[in-house]
Chain A
Amino acid sequence: SSELTQDPAVSAALGQTVRLTCQGDSLTTSYASWCQVKTGQAPVFVISGKNLRPSGIPDRFSASSSGDTGFLTITGAQAEDEADYYCISRDTTDKYVIFGGGTKLTVL
């Protein structure tokens, strides 16, 4: 399969823990990584599927997986976390990079 499925939109109250999901057949043999896209800005790498964050990314972001689904959890969402989040992997042939459709996170 060449698809990663994400919920189109998720909302969370300020300080709430929110979990974004990414489902796809390729995730049974690979981890999804995640990037964040804020309005008018270039994407930013947030976390790998092995739960490794680049410098500058707060530790409230974590990643995990189960079966064919990857998860991005934000523990205590902040206003600045409002953005589109995309999961990334390669397809089941392990050749082509694929993106999930993106989840628009709104922090209320």
Chain B
Amino acid sequence: DIQMTQSPSSLSASVGDRVTITCRASQGVNNYLAWFQQKPGKAPKCLIYAASSLQSGVPSKFSGSGSGTDFTLTISSLQPEDFATYYCQQYNSYPLTFGGGTKVEIK
């Protein structure tokens, strides 16, 4: 199984901050890597797919980068609606696996 390790597991940030979340896969995932945002009581929402492609309708303040085993989600200027938990997921091989999540909280 491919293990997905996210860091940090939580962070505190202020409105306007630039935030970076990293995700490391235990083996290469051929850029079949997605990022999801989840708010309490809601379903996950895809932000980024194929490591760096922005999902339709998602604001351009979200960006993804990386390749092979190391990936990054960046929020360029954190806004109140961005406080949520973020997950990476590999869809290269079975079983599909998610990172443990990064909770972004208000400082």
Q: Do A and B come from one complex?
A: no
